[in-house]
């Protein structure tokens, strides 16, 4: 699969060179390598802490006033948003319609890849419009590389 030229520079569009030879490592070395890569995620979150705090400080009072949290994304990013939304009711005792996850290609894309759906910049528009969003709602577009047309198009529409 070729990488679109506008995203070819992104690390998220390439294999991780530190994990390409996992099959040559012992089980212990594999676990160590994966844990090291997982720690890199936490480091990235540390760097993003001010932005995360600002987002949450903005969203929390609107959610408390009856607003909703809406995640939308494509591929694995979209799946993780849907997963998080589906865990909110049992974990935080909120109604299922308060935390919503949308994925490019709809529910079938949760189990099977819908490669072309992420490239449609108008793909999220109808789904977002159907939610009848208002000023209390918080919408989060999830795209690991920040360039997914489905997500960028949806955010631009808002």
Rounded CA-CA distance 60/105 in Å is: 29
Identify whether 115 is a catalytic site residue: no
Which one is catalytic: 115, 118, 127, 135? 118
CA dihedral 20, 22, 23, 26 (to 10 degrees): 160
Structure-block tokens of residue 95: 């109604």
CA distance 144 to 154: 15
Q: Give me the long-range contacts of 54-61 (CB less than 8 A, separation at least 24).
A: 55/138, 55/140, 58/138, 59/138
| Integer Cα distance of 72 and 89 in angstroms | 18
Among residues 29, 32, 37, 87, which one is catalytic?
A: 87
The number of beta carbons lying within 10 Å of the beta carbon of residue 88 is 17
Residue in this structure with the two tokens 């960028």, named with its chain if needed: 152
Active site residue 87: yes
Positions marked catalytic:
87, 118
């Amino acid at each position: 699969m070729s990488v679109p030229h506008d995203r070819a520079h992104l690390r998220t569009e390439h294999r991780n060179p530190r994990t390409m030879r996992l099959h040559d490592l012992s089980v212990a070395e594999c676990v160590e390598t994966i844990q090291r890569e997982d720690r890199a995620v936490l480091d990235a979150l540390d760097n993003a802490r001010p932005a995360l705090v600002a987002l949450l400080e903005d969203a929390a009072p609107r959610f408390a006033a009856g607003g909703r949290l809406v995640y939308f994304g494509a591929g694995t990013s979209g799946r993780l948003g849907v997963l998080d939304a589906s865990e909110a009711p049992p974990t935080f005792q909120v109604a299922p319609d308060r935390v919503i996850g949308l994925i490019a290609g709809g529910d079938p894309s949760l189990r099977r890849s819908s490669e072309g759906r992420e490239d449609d910049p108008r793909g999220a528009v109808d789904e977002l419009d159907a939610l009848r969003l208002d000023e209390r709602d918080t919408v989060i577009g999830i795209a690991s590389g920040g360039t997914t047309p489905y997500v960028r198009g949806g955010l631009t529409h808002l």
